[in-house]
Amino acid sequence: MSRQIFNPYLPLDTYIPDGEPHVFGDRLYLFGSHDKEGGEAFCMLPYEGWSAPVDDLTAWRCEGTIYRPEQDPNYGPANRYLYAPDVVQGPDGRYYLYYAMSGEGCFTGPIHVAVCDTPAGQYEYYGAVRTPDGAELERYITFDPAVFNDEGKIWLYYGWSLEKAGITENIPQENLIPVEMALFGKTEESIRACPYELMGANAVQLAEDMLTVLGEPNRIVPGQFASFGTSFAGRSAASEVPPDGKDHAFFEASSMRKIGKIYYFIYSSQNQHELCYATSAFPDRGFTYGGVLISNGDIGYQGRSAEERLATTGNNHGSLVAVNGQWYIFYHRQTHKTSFSRQGCAEPVTILPDGSIPQVEMTSCGLNGGPLAGEGVYPASICCNLTNGRMPHQTGEPIRTPLPHVTHRDGERFLAEIEDGTLIGYKYFSLSGKTALTLQIRGEGTGRFEVLAEEQPLGSVSVVPSADWAEAGAVIEVSGTHALYLRYCGTGAVELKQLRLSAR
């Protein structure tokens, strides 16, 4: 069997969310935040570089630590975590890393820049993005920077907005100002001086020094408080309540790509779990809503509602990249019943002749170029669906109640708190007739795992109590490419570490 790759595409003990993929030379480089396994906050670790040859996306290589928060002169209690970065090659051939920091409280600082001679070498602090008079750029909310080289012109994108959180009415600017002052350390004078509402996505061109902005930032996608009446809102007036999941106003996670002559702005919407795109003929204006690219709960895919999500959802961040003519969307998923241990995943997407991109589903095979082989040993935590039928949306604080989830202990990664009714899905396997399926299980549960290909029952695996990992299996028979599901029926909770498929 040739080498394969799964979702998540990096090692299971590696947590690189907010992934910005870029091809430089003959390698695909990934730049992202760095979560701690079982961490207590976002982005607790230094930036770590990863790359793969463009002709073999199964062969990811760790480039080591490329930048540490202590290298920034602003490092301190309020600026100790490196948030979602992006990298662009400048006119001088060097590579520039743009990032925001946070720590105690919310993000209030400037957009920082580091520089390196190679994409994944040792970056050195370079400066902070500034206005022509030398002052740090403070216009709007300087968060989640993205950079884009458009035939020699360097564009910077950034911004943030409050997530929906039950807000369904447009809030007058007068009522927002005290909130914005408290959250972002802004003065009333600076907020009133903004041509647009403080929260939203912005674009501005950078000078050749890669630090100085040229002119006033333009608003390209509105936040929720200014989105009504636009293509981004599911409502035409402030008094309307947007239909569930139909408000795609900007939340965070700016990213820019160009396909043909069209600019694609990729971002996380007010729904958080989804990455959306907007298109324009210009890099800094005229954007209209395009659609959803991916949801980390498959919400919206084939009409799926939020109540029917197929995994715990949470914030999402990523972007598009073309490798050898195939486009992919990179995104991340939540683990450990928190938002603080996120893992990168990727899926192929299709650009239709009219430029639209249909939403794709989460899979276990991602960058594999096809279904996984129906023979071999697979970690249980590469499941793309994990649900008890009532999965929540994760917003920060750890979930304390029992919930099926990916976790780790004693150097092992596995699925935990699998209780009666839990459905675990793997998409997709290429199966060819009779196959022995062996599961590695432990826990106090008694019952069985029903095995299904889509909705077709294939058999069941008995579950008995065991303090240590124990194997149990069944012979199934199905041919073709199928989603393979395990549904637990029984009492007590169990854990699942591994699946083994062997042709009979």
Q: 18, 86, 419, 495: which one is catalytic?
A: 18
Distance CA 383, CA 362 (A): 9
Q: Return d(Cα 202, Cα 159) in angstroms, integer.
A: 6
The two tokens of residue 115 are: 């520089």
Cα 356 from Cα 122, distance rounded (Å) = 38
Q: Cα dihedral angle (122, 154, 205, 317), rounded to 10 degrees?
A: -70
Please state, as a whole number, how many other Cβ atoms lie within 10 Å of the Cβ of residue 469. 16
pLDDT of residue 172: 66
Residue 37 in contact with residue 88, Cβ under 8 Å? no
pLDDT of residue 158: 98
pLDDT, residue 168, reads: 45
DSSP designation for 378:
E
CA 474 – CA 483 distance, rounded (Å): 17
370: phi > 0 → left, psi -120 to 50 → alpha, else beta; which? left
State the pLDDT at residue 446.
98
pLDDT mean values, one per 10 residues, the chain (504 residues): 90 98 98 96 96 98 98 92 97 97 78 98 98 96 97 97 62 76 87 92 98 97 89 66 74 97 97 97 98 97 96 97 97 97 98 97 97 97 98 89 97 98 98 97 98 96 98 97 98 98 92
pLDDT of residue 165: 54
Instruction: Verify whether residue 18 is a known catalytic residue.
Output: yes
- How much is the CA Rg of the chain, to the nearest whole Å? 23
Q: Which of 75, 191, 92, 89 is nearest to 128 (CA)?
A: 75
> Is 20 designated active site?
no
pLDDT of residue 368: 97
Residue of 163, 252, 284, 419 marked active site: 252
Q: What is the pLDDT of residue 395?
A: 85
Cα separation values, 310 from 189, 297, 362, 448, Å:
46, 5, 9, 21
The count of residues in the chain is: 504
